[in-house]
């Protein structure tokens, strides 16, 4: 097995969007921004993929769960059903 040279080539440094943009706040009522951190199936996208920092991912996670409770976001599946 050859070593994987592609991995280094394609890796790009991800940065936390909430740290970069101070005006962007995490709120469970702000569905538009939360949609960016949820997969098509309605799952929360993991930190290693979206690149948010630990603090913001924790806040985001809570906000998404609250939004789900009040039917802003789906628990599973797309918003259509």
User: Quick one: which segment of 8-16, 17-25, 48-56, 71-79 binds other proteins (CB under 8 A)?
Assistant: 71-79
**What is d(CA 53, CA 50) in angstroms, rounded to the nearest whole number?**
9
Token output for 19: 């740290």
User: Quick one: which segment of 6-14, 18-26, 50-58, 63-71 binds other proteins (CB under 8 A)?
Assistant: 63-71
Among 17, 51, 61, 74, binds other proteins (CB under 8 A): 74
Alpha helices in 1-81 (DSSP H): 6-10, 17-20, 31-35, 47-50, 54-69
* Interface pattern 7-36 for other proteins (x via CB under 8 A): ---------------------x--------
Q: Residue 16: exposed, middle, or buried by beta-carbon count in 10 A (0-12, 13-18, 19+)?
A: middle
Would you tell me which residues interact with other proteins (CB under 8 A)?
28, 66, 68-75, 77, 79, 81
């Amino acid at each position: 097995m050859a070593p994987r040279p592609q991995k280094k080539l394609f890796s790009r440094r991800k940065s936390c969007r909430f740290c970069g943009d101070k005006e962007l706040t995490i709120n469970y009522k702000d569905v538009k921004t939360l949609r960016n951190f949820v997969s098509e199936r309605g799952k929360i996208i993991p930190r290693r993929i979206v690149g948010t920092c630990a603090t913001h991912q924790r806040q985001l996670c809570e906000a998404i769960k609250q939004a789900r409770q009040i039917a802003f976001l789906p628990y599973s599946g797309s918003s259509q059903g």
